[in-house]
Structure 1
Amino acid sequence: MAESYGWAGKILRVNLTTGEITTQDDEKYHKYIGGMGMAYRIMYEEAPMELDPYDEKALVIFGVGPLTGAGVPCSGRMNVTFRSTWSKGHSIIDAHMGGHIGSMLKYAGYDGIVISGISEKPVYLRIEDGNVSLEDASEIWGKGTFAANKWMVEQNGREFETASIGPAGENLVDYSTLNTSFGNSGGAGLGAAMGNKKLKGLAIRGTGSVKVADPKKVLELSNYMMGNLIGGNNNHNVPAQPQSWAEYSATSGKNRWSGAPGRMWKKAPGGPVDTGEQPYNDINKVALRCFKGYFDFGAPAAEYTVKNGGCSSCPIRCYTEYDVDPLADYDLPTHNSNTCMPVLYGTRVYPDGVHDFKYEGDGTMVINLAWSHAVDDMGLWDNYGNLNRDLLWILRMPREEATKYISEAEYDSLPWEWEKAGDPRWEVELIRRMAYGEGDLSVIAKGTLAMMEKFGLPKSWLDRDDGATNSNLIYNGFPNHHGPAEAWQVGMLYNLVYNRDCMIHEIVCETGSGAPYEVTKKVMEDFFGEGCYDKAKAYTPINENKAKLAAYCVNDKNFHDSATLCNWMWPMTQSPSKERDYHGDLDLQADFMTAVTGETYTQAGLQEDGARITQMLRAMTAISFQQNCGSANLRQEHDAICDWVFDKDPDFKAFEEGTTKLDRADMEKAKDLFYDVFGWDRTTGVPTRETLEKYDLADMADDLEKRGIYAQNTAAAE
Structure 2
Amino acid sequence: TARKGLFWGAAEPPIEVGECPGDDLNKIGYRTHKGVLDFRTADPATGRPIGELITVRMGGCHSCPIRCHILIDLPSMETKYGLPRYSSNTCSGWQGGQMYPKNSGDPWIDTETKVLGSILADDYGVWNNYSQMGSDFAYAYENGLIKEALSEEEYESIPWDLLDAGDPRFQFEFFRRIAYKEGDMGKALGEGSAYLQEAWKFPEEWRLHKKHWKMGHPYHHSTENAGQVGALINLVYNRDPNCHTHSNFYGCGLPIEIKKEISAEIFGSPDAVDVLHEWTPMNEAKAIFGKLTYAYLELHNSMTLCNYTLPAWTSPSKENNYRGDPDMDAKLYSAVTGDTKTREELEEIGVKHLTLLRALTMRQMGTLDMRNEHDMIPDWVFDYPDWADKEPFTPGHDKMDREDMELAKDMFYEQLGWDKASGAPTRQTLEKLGMQDVADGLAKQSLLPG
TM-score by length of 2: 0.93
Query: Any stretches of 5+ residues in structure 1 without a counterpart?
Result: 1-257
Q: State the partner residue of 1:394.
A: 140
Give the superposition deviation at 1:688. 0.3
1:622 is paired with a residue of what secondary structure? helix
Give 1 or 2: higher strand fraction: 1
1:514 has 2:253 as partner: yes
Specify the code of the residue in structure 2 equivalent to 1:406: L
Say which of 651, 654, 658 aligns to 2:396: 658
Tell me, in whole angstroms, the C-alpha distance in 2 between the residues paired with 1:304 and 1:621.
44
Tell me, in whole angstroms, the C-alpha distance in 1 between the residues paired with 2:172 and 2:343.
46
Tell me, in whole angstroms, the C-alpha distance in 2 between the residues paired with 1:436 and 1:370.
18
Tell me, in whole angstroms, the C-alpha distance in 2 between the residues paired with 1:341 and 1:433.
22
1:592 has 2:332 as partner: yes
Say which of 635, 643, 648 aligns to 2:379: 643
1:526 is paired with a residue of what secondary structure? helix
1:502 has 2:241 as partner: yes
Tell me, in whole angstroms, the C-alpha distance in 1 between the residues paired with 2:414 and 2:201.
38
1:423 has 2:167 as partner: yes
Give 1 or 2: higher helix fraction: 2
The 8 Å contact of residues 531 and 545 in structure 1, kept in 2 or not, is answered as yes
The 8 Å contact of residues 497 and 618 in structure 1, kept in 2 or not, is answered as yes
Specify the code of the residue in structure 2 equivalent to 1:317: R
2:127 is paired with a residue of what secondary structure? coil
Superposition pairs for residues 569-588 of structure 1, below 5 Å?
569-588=309-328
The 8 Å contact of residues 482 and 491 in structure 1, kept in 2 or not, is answered as yes
Q: State the partner residue of 1:606.
A: 346
1:316 is paired with a residue of what secondary structure? coil
**1:313-368 deviation line (CA, Å, top 9, x unaligned):** 2122211111112333243432211111111x422222122332xxxx44543321
Q: State the partner residue of 2:277.
A: 537
The 8 Å contact of residues 277 and 398 in structure 2, kept in 1 or not, is answered as yes
The 8 Å contact of residues 261 and 270 in structure 2, kept in 1 or not, is answered as no
Q: State the partner residue of 2:198.
A: 453
Say which of 97, 117, 120 aligns to 1:371: 117
Say which of 264, 268, 293 aligns to 1:525: 264
Tell me, in whole angstroms, the C-alpha distance in 1 between the residues paired with 2:127 and 2:172.
14
Tell me, in whole angstroms, the C-alpha distance in 2 between the residues paired with 1:352 and 1:560.
38
Give the superposition deviation at 1:661. 1.2
Structure 1 moving runs of 4+ over 6 Å: none
Tell me, in whole angstroms, the C-alpha distance in 2 between the residues paired with 1:260 and 1:414.
45
Cα pair distance change 1:295/1:521, threshold 3 Å: farther
2:340 is paired with a residue of what secondary structure? coil
Superposition pairs for residues 310-389 of structure 1, below 5 Å?
310-327=60-77, 328-343=79-94, 345-356=95-106, 361-389=107-135
Say which of 250, 258, 262 aligns to 2:5: 262
- What value does the CA root-mean-square deviation take over the aligned residues? 1.7
The 8 Å contact of residues 263 and 271 in structure 2, kept in 1 or not, is answered as no
Tell me, in whole angstroms, the C-alpha distance in 1 between the residues paired with 2:205 and 2:388.
18
Cα pair distance change 1:396/1:525, threshold 3 Å: farther
Q: State the partner residue of 1:278.
A: 20
Specify the code of the residue in structure 2 equivalent to 1:514: G
Specify the code of the residue in structure 2 equivalent to 1:478: H
**1:645-675 deviation line (CA, Å, top 9, x unaligned):** 1111111011111210111111111101101
Say which of 37, 61, 65 aligns to 1:295: 37
Equivalent pairs counted in the alignment come to 437
Give the superposition deviation at 1:515. 3.5
Identity %: 39
**1:247-279 deviation line (CA, Å, top 9, x unaligned):** xxxxxxxxxxx222211112213x111111212
Tell me, in whole angstroms, the C-alpha distance in 2 between the residues paired with 1:396 and 1:274.
43
1:486 is paired with a residue of what secondary structure? helix
Tell me, in whole angstroms, the C-alpha distance in 1 between the residues paired with 2:56 and 2:114.
17
1:481 is paired with a residue of what secondary structure? coil
Tell me, in whole angstroms, the C-alpha distance in 1 between the residues paired with 2:263 and 2:115.
36
Give the superposition deviation at 1:461. 5.5
Say which of 401, 409, 434 aligns to 2:153: 409
The 8 Å contact of residues 330 and 424 in structure 1, kept in 2 or not, is answered as no
Tell me, in whole angstroms, the C-alpha distance in 1 between the residues paired with 2:235 and 2:193.
17
Give the superposition deviation at 1:456. 3.8
Cα pair distance change 1:586/1:363, threshold 3 Å: farther
1:667 has 2:418 as partner: no
Specify the code of the residue in structure 1 equivalent to 2:396: G
Cα pair distance change 1:532/1:652, threshold 3 Å: same
Greater relative CO, 1 or 2 (CA 8 Å, sep 6+): 1
Specify the code of the residue in structure 1 equivalent to 2:236: V
Q: State the partner residue of 2:370.
A: 634
Give the superposition deviation at 1:523. 2.7
The 8 Å contact of residues 287 and 316 in structure 1, kept in 2 or not, is answered as yes
Cα pair distance change 1:512/1:346, threshold 3 Å: farther
**1:427-469 deviation line (CA, Å, top 9, x unaligned):** 23211111111122221221111112323446x456x332xxx
**1:94-136 deviation line (CA, Å, top 9, x unaligned):** xxxxxxxxxxxxxxxxxxxxxxxxxxxxxxxxxxxxxxxxxxx
2:362 is paired with a residue of what secondary structure? helix
Query: Any stretches of 5+ residues in structure 2 without a counterpart?
Result: 41-48
**1:651-704 deviation line (CA, Å, top 9, x unaligned):** 101111121011111111110110101111111111000000000101111111
Specify the code of the residue in structure 1 equivalent to 2:64: C
Say which of 165, 185, 206 aligns to 1:441: 185
Tell me, in whole angstroms, the C-alpha distance in 2 between the residues paired with 1:465 and 1:351.
20
Q: State the partner residue of 1:709.
A: 447
The 8 Å contact of residues 378 and 435 in structure 1, kept in 2 or not, is answered as yes
Tell me, in whole angstroms, the C-alpha distance in 2 between the residues paired with 1:381 and 1:681.
35
Tell me, in whole angstroms, the C-alpha distance in 2 between the residues paired with 1:297 and 1:497.
33
The 8 Å contact of residues 60 and 69 in structure 2, kept in 1 or not, is answered as yes
1:427 is paired with a residue of what secondary structure? helix
The 8 Å contact of residues 297 and 364 in structure 1, kept in 2 or not, is answered as no
Q: State the partner residue of 1:486.
A: 225
**1:265-305 deviation line (CA, Å, top 9, x unaligned):** 12213x11111121221111111111111122232111111
1:308 is paired with a residue of what secondary structure? strand
The 8 Å contact of residues 103 and 110 in structure 2, kept in 1 or not, is answered as no
